[in-house]
Every structure is written in C-alpha cells, then in structure tokens.
Amino acid sequence: MSSAASGRFFCTAGRGLEPFLAREVRARLGATEVDCVSGKVFFRAAAGLGELRRLRSGERLFLLLKKHGPLPVSGSRGKILNEIKSLVIEDPKYWLDIISVLRKLHGHKGKTDNGSQENTLALKRKSEEETNTASKRQKTEQVRAIVSEECQVGAGETCESSDRMSRQECWIESSTSSEFPSRGSGEGPAASEELSFRVSCRCSGAIARILTSQEVGRAIGTAMVKQCGWHADLRDPDLEIFVHLNDIQSVVGIPLFRLPLANREYIRTSGLRSTVAWAMASLAEIRAGALVLDPMCGLGTILLEAAKEWPEAYYWGADISDSQLEGADGNIRAACFMDKIELLKASVKALPLPSESFDSVISDIPFGKKFKTTSDAQLLPDILQEMQRVLRVGGTLVLLLSQELHRRMDGLTRCAGGDLADGDSGAAPAQALDGLTRCAEGASADGDSGAAPSVYGNSSSLAQGGGEPIIYRHFGSLLPEDVYAISLGKTDAFIHKYRKVSAAGSSRTGTGSCLNTGTLPGTGSSGLKELES
C-alpha cells in the first residue's frame, strides 16, 4: 500500500457497475468507508495517483470535497441559489488547502514552484482582504446584485427536463481563456500567474425543475471569481470544480485526471465499453496459466481487458466476421499482446476446439443492432451448448445478454410446471428454444417474468416451483450463479455467470487436424489462424 496520506475520493460508474467498483477499490486500494449510490462509489484510501489510475471499472475519479444530503428546494430561486453557493464557496484559505492536497497528489513541490508561490501569495492577500469590514460589505452587495440579476427569469422561460439536465454539463467560460497555455497531458494545477478554473454542474430531480445547470454553474463561477480572484477558463483550466445536485445528495469534488479512467490507451479501436469488459473478466476467476476463450470476440475488447489485468493467462478469440477479426488483430498488435492472444475465424455454433479445453469462456453475444443477428434467440441453445462443451469442469462462463436474450435465459433457468414460456403448448421448437424450457417431467418453464433475477448477487430465480434449473437439467453441466443488470447507455443489458459442475455428454472435437488430438496449439503466434468450422 502506498505511503500517501489517507484521502476521501469518489468515482463515477456506469449504472450496475457500482458493486464491481466497490469490490475493486477494496481489493486494489484497501479502501475503507466504501459507500455505493447510483452512479457513484465513495471511499477513503491511502493511495497515490499511480494506484488510483489503475482502477478499471470506474469512469471518472474525483477528490471529494463535500458530500451532503439534498438541498431544500422550497422558497425563492434566489434562496436556493444562495444555498448552493454556500455549499461550494469557501474562504480562500480553504482553497489553498485543497490546492496543496492536489499538488501533493500530483507530485508538485510548492517550494520550488515560483508560479505556485505567486498563486499562494495572491490567495493570502485575498484572505487578508476578507478581514476588512468595508471590503466585506462591498463584496456582499456585489454578490446580492449578481444573485438578483441571475434569478430574473422571463415569463416565457421554461426549465429543461430533469432527464436531459442529469446528463448535461455546464461550463463557465471567460474571455481570458487564451491567457493560459495548453499543458497537453499534464495533470493538476499549473504554475501560472493567476489560477484558472471551470465549473462542471449537473442537476437532476427536483432542483432541475427549478434551476438549470447553466444557472447554477454561472452563479457558482461568478461567486468564485469574486471570492478568490480566479479566472474562468473553459478549455484548459488549472482547476475543475464538479458539482452534482440531485434528490439523494449534494456532492462537490475535483477530478484528478483530465481524461476518464475508462479511456484505455492500449485500445486503438473501441468496441464494448472497457469498464463492462473488465467487469465481465473479473467474474471469470482467471488465474495464472489459465486458458480463456471469447468465441464471439468482435474487436477483442474483453480479451484485451483480461490480458491487461491477468497477463499470466492465455487468451483465444474467435469470430466469423473478417472485419471484426481485422480490428481485433489491430488492437492486439497496438497493445503488444501478440504473445498472449490468439485469433481464429470460426463459428460459435461449431468451434474447431477440443472439448473441455478452456478454464473460462467470456462473451458479449451480439444484440442485433450494430451487427445484424436476426436469430439470436433461436441460436441461443446452440451457442450455449457449444460454449459449455469447450469449457472444463469447474470453469466459468460469463455472458453479456440483451434484455430479450436475458428474458429467454431467465426462462431457461426456471421451472414451475404448466404451459410453455409463451403460454402455447404447441409452440414451435424455435419459440420453445429447442425444448430447453421443458422440465425433466415434461412440463415447461413458467413464462411469467414477474420476478426478474436478482442482481448484485446470486440469482433468486434459479429454482422457482418444484423443478431444477432448466439449463442444468438440459446440459447437465452449467449451473447459474450470478446475474447483474447494467446500463450500456441507451440500452440495458445483463451479465450472466455460470459454472460448469460436471462433464458434458458430448465429447466432439473440432475439425482442425491439430485440434483433434485434444490439445490446443501453442500460443504466441501473432498471425490470424483461420480454421474451418
């Protein structure tokens, strides 16, 4: 663990990934006081920036300044704006301390940084001015005038919807932005004559129906300029102040990195969101020397995330699309993982690979939107059967499924007797998923989806009614363990985890001559292997 002083942080996360992030900060950082809310994980850790940057399931990381309950939304708009400003605005000495903490995190040495000394002296002078009564009176009058001006709303003005505002960021900009040179990839407050800043404000819920993010951000930014004498700068500020107000809490923080943690420098062409790919790989229980397969690898994002985190394992990716394999090969070369990841062209319905040869199988089954897969539901039984065939006993299967496929999968893992899932006992095999929904006694799965699988833990829908889980009865090998509901932005999805608990009935091997021996070719070739399926 780092010798850094303990600090309070929070990290944003995609909806549904909060439990993955909470587990990660505990395991990777030894974090304490971990608290999960929708879209965020708060924690305390003694960690340096190098350790914090290694977080893989988070989006943006912040130094936590304040965390309070929701602000009252009763009263006039001016009163609410004053409440917001009192939450954020502090005396210059407070911001001196914050800047000092940031500089320590980023490794700056204030004693040798002339610009830092100038900033400090400027803030100290500002602090001394606050003790002057006349100055205080004048400043109060100025602030009141600003609030009064900003709270005037025309009769025809309407507030934007809370859903829209929850995603919107409001930046405070001034004409002085050109005075601050670009620092490229540099981090933390820079050495400049006067500190520059911007305010990133997000409002949702009740407060967004009264004030827009622009109004809140403008009020905070104007007050910061008057309080601390800073310049507002949209494009390249020394400091960014993040404010999030909703019906659950009020949060103020400062982002520690200019780019989101989810931006991966080792992925040239992005496919699946990297945080989701990492979360899936984290469920696969990958160990040193393990063989891991993604039979529908696409651009290889899951394989890249797994290989980066668990480099002592060996990875295989298969796909039927030449363009996807081309992109995956480019990503693998850019990440210098040619000795860790092998690619082959093959159909997931007939993999040219030996039975029980992989320790983990991880795959994002296409949703039929970006790439046309019109018969996903009909193919699901064949896909599952082939995946469990190549999986070793005790191995893990992790799948990312669309809402439709999740409902189908949920039907596969429930048996309560009665009619078929769609209520029609004469349904076609495709509709009945090739009989996978039938119980051992001949009854079908209950089609009532009123009880969805539990998320963030073991599924509670695996043995409803009197029967065993259908997928276990049919394959005799795959036991459902976990289901996680997550968001992919405009659509929702589900991560399913299974464990193979016994040998499958089929011992079929692939058609490739080198694979019929029951062993995999050695890894380490950077070329693309094209095998007939």
Q: Is residue 287 located within the same domain as residue 233? A: no
Whether 364 and 483 share a structural domain: yes
The arithmetic mean of pLDDT across residues 207-222, rounded, is: 93
Is residue 119 one of the residues assigned to a domain?
Answer: no
Is the same domain home to 326 and 201?
no
Please give the residue that has the higher pLDDT: either 186 or 258.
Answer: 258
Mean pLDDT of the chain: 73
The pLDDT confidence band at residue 51, using thresholds 50, 70 and 90, is: very high
Looking at residue 104, what is its pLDDT? 82
Would the pLDDT of 207 be above 50?
yes
Contact by Cβ (8 Å): 338, 363: no
Give the largest Cα separation in the chain, rounded. Answer: 90
pLDDT exceeds 80 at position 289: yes
Output 231 or 531, whichever has higher pLDDT.
231
User: pLDDT at position 376, please?
Assistant: 53
Q: What pLDDT score was predicted for residue 528?
A: 52
CA–CA distance, 333 with 13 (Å, rounded to integer)? 29
Average pLDDT, integer, range 478-503: 91
Q: 272-281, 396-405, 508-517: which has the minimum mean pLDDT?
A: 508-517
Q: How many CA atoms lie within 13 A of 370 on its CB side?
A: 11
d(CA 408, CA 496): 12
CATH number assigned to the domain comprising residue 16: 3.30.2130.30
pLDDT of residue 96: 81
Tokens 């499924």 sit at which residue? Answer: 401
Same domain, 407 and 295: yes
Any residues with CB less than 8 A from the CB of 172 and at least 6 apart, and which? 197, 198, 199, 217, 218, 220, 221, 232, 234
Q: For residue 279, what pLDDT band results from cuts at 50, 70 and 90?
A: very high
Q: Is residue 243 part of a domain?
A: yes
> Tokens representing 138?
């004048």
Mean of the pLDDT values across residues 522-533? 44
Distance of CA 50 to the CA centre of its chain: 19
Same domain, 346 and 400: yes
Q: Give me the half-sphere count of Cα atoms (radius 13 Å) on the Cβ side of residue 250.
A: 18
User: Could you give the number of structural domains in the chain?
Assistant: 2
Average pLDDT (28-40) is: 95
Whether 246 and 305 share a structural domain: no
Let me know whether 235 and 318 are in one domain. Answer: no
Q: In what order do the strands lie in the sheet with 7-12?
A: 32-37, 40-45, 7-12, 61-68, 250-255, 239-245, 196-203, 231-232
Burial 247-265 (b: 16+ CB within 10 A, else e): eebbbbbbbbbbeebbebe
CB atoms within 10 A of CB 140: 10
- Report the range of poorest mean pLDDT among 65-74, 83-92, 427-436: 427-436
| Six-digit token string for 37 | 């809310």
Does 345 fall in a domain? yes
Whether the model clears a pTM of 0.85, i.e. scores above it, the answer is: no
- Closest by CA to 375, choosing from 364, 366, 384, is 366
Which of residues 381 and 188 earns the better pLDDT score? 381
Q: What is the pLDDT of residue 183?
A: 41
Residue 172 located in a structural domain: no
DSSP string, 170-237: B----GGGGGS---TT--S----SS-EEEEEEEE-GGGGGTS-HHHHHHHHHHHHHHHH-PEE-SSS-
306: containing domain: 274-415+476-500
Percent of the chain scored above 90 by pLDDT?
A: 46
Q: Residue 12: its pLDDT value, please?
A: 96
C-alpha closest to that of 274 among 55, 113, 471: 55
Over residues 156-164, the mean pLDDT reads 35
311: pLDDT strictly greater than 90: yes
Q: Which residue has the higher pLDDT, 444 or 187?
A: 187
Three-state DSSP at 330 gives: helix
Q: Are residues 82 and 228 in the same domain?
A: yes
pLDDT at position 412, please?
60
Mean pLDDT within 169-192: 36
End-to-end CA distance of the chain: 49
Q: What is the DSSP letter of 441?
A: T
